[in-house]
Amino acid sequence: MAGRNLIIFGPPGAGKGTQAPRLAAEFGLPHVATGDMFRAHQREGTALGLRAKAYMEAGELVPDTLVIEMLVERIGQADAADGFLLDGFPRTVAQAVALDVELAANGSRIDALLVLDVTEEDVVTRISGRLVCANGHVFHETFSPPAVAAVCDTCGLALARRADDEPDVVRNRYRNVYLAQTAPVRDHYTALGVPALDVDGTGSTDAVYERLRTALQRP
Ligand code: AMP
């Protein structure tokens, strides 16, 4: 398979968070997701969680220095010594450079990017179709609708679309955050000769997963 320091890459809504835990488990790599780490900090009420909160709620990137420090600490832990699957990091070229410097200090590097290819329209359909209740149970208008329209199957509360999942907001985030700030990370790695393994991110969860496995197992 491709080397062991991997990045799963693609816009929010591409399916990274769905695919990465399964892939990491199968390949024996820790799944390192910076969004999950920030959410854990918020649940625990840490200073970092508080600082990240406003950015996350606005759909903006948390400042590089905060993310980099948290990530470097995480990949320094013993379970990441033989590789990791990064999910949601790096999201800027500055983050990628900081990661490369950190890895190089240990004689290591990023081995490959697994890229989930989806269009802007796919992203808008996926994200703006999401419905959540006040307890955080998630449904989807098209892909996993509730039994009764606009009512949570689990707790019976009303389902609604989150303000930051409105189509205009999703499009704005795709163009001004993903295309403008994150997409250049791929070019950064291409320039360094790191392979980007493109995978069609459309279709069922299982179909996408099989494509990812195949891409990783290719010599
Ligand atoms: P995610 O769960 O990966 O979609 O991340 C949720 C939110 O956390 C993002 O919208 C950002 O506000 C923040 N975040 C996660 N990872 C990063 C990162 N690498 N750089 C900046 N902000 C991040």
With a pLDDT cut of 70, the percent of the chain lying above it is 98
pLDDT band at 3 (very low <50, low <70, confident <90, very high): low
Which atom of ligand 1 is found nearest the CA of 90?
A: 19
Average of pLDDT values for 100-126? 96
Average of pLDDT values for 133-151? 92
Range with lowest mean pLDDT among 2-6, 48-52, 155-159, 205-209: 2-6
| Residue 149, pLDDT above cutoff 60 | yes
Spatial distance between the Cα atoms of 194 and 191, rounded to a whole number of angstroms? 8
pLDDT of 19: 96
Residue located nearest, by CA, to atom 12 of ligand 1: 56
Residues 6+ apart with CB under 8 A from 11: 118, 120, 123, 174, 178, 182
pLDDT of 73: 96
Reading across the β-sheet that carries 112-117, which strands appear in turn?
31-33, 84-87, 5-9, 112-117, 196-200
209 and 22 Cβ atoms separated by less than 8 Å: yes
Ligand 1 pocket, residue 178 CB under 6 Å: no
**CATH superfamily for domain 5-120+167-217:** P-loop containing nucleotide triphosphate hydrolases (3.40.50.300)
Active-site residue, 43 included = no
| Residue 143, pLDDT above cutoff 60 | yes
pLDDT of 219: 66
CA angle at 158 for the pair 41 and 167, rounded to the nearest 5°: 70
11 and 173 Cβ atoms separated by less than 8 Å: no
Active-site residue, 186 included = no
Spatial distance between the Cα atoms of 53 and 39, rounded to a whole number of angstroms? 9
Residue located nearest, by CA, to atom 14 of ligand 1: 35
Of the listed 22, 39, 161, 162, which one is catalytic?
162
Active-site residue, 91 included = yes
Residue located nearest, by CA, to atom 2 of ligand 1: 35
pLDDT per residue over 60-100, tens digit each?
999 999 999 999 999 999 999 999 999 999 999 999 999 99
Per-residue tokens: 1:
């398979």
- Which SS3 state, helix, strand or coil, does residue 190 take? helix
Pocket test for ligand 1, best of 16, 62, 64 (most atoms within 8 A of CB): 62
Ligand 1 pocket, residue 91 CB under 6 Å: yes
pLDDT of 208: 97
55 and 83 Cβ atoms separated by less than 8 Å: no
24 and 31 Cβ atoms separated by less than 8 Å: yes
Give the chain's mean pLDDT.
94
- Which SS3 state, helix, strand or coil, does residue 158 take? strand
| Residue 2, pLDDT above cutoff 60 | no
Spatial distance between the Cα atoms of 144 and 150, rounded to a whole number of angstroms? 12
pLDDT of 124: 95
Q: Regarding predicted confidence, which is higher, 217 or 178?
A: 178
Average of pLDDT values for 165-189? 95
pLDDT band at 201 (very low <50, low <70, confident <90, very high): very high
- Which SS3 state, helix, strand or coil, does residue 209 take? helix
Average of pLDDT values for 107-116? 96
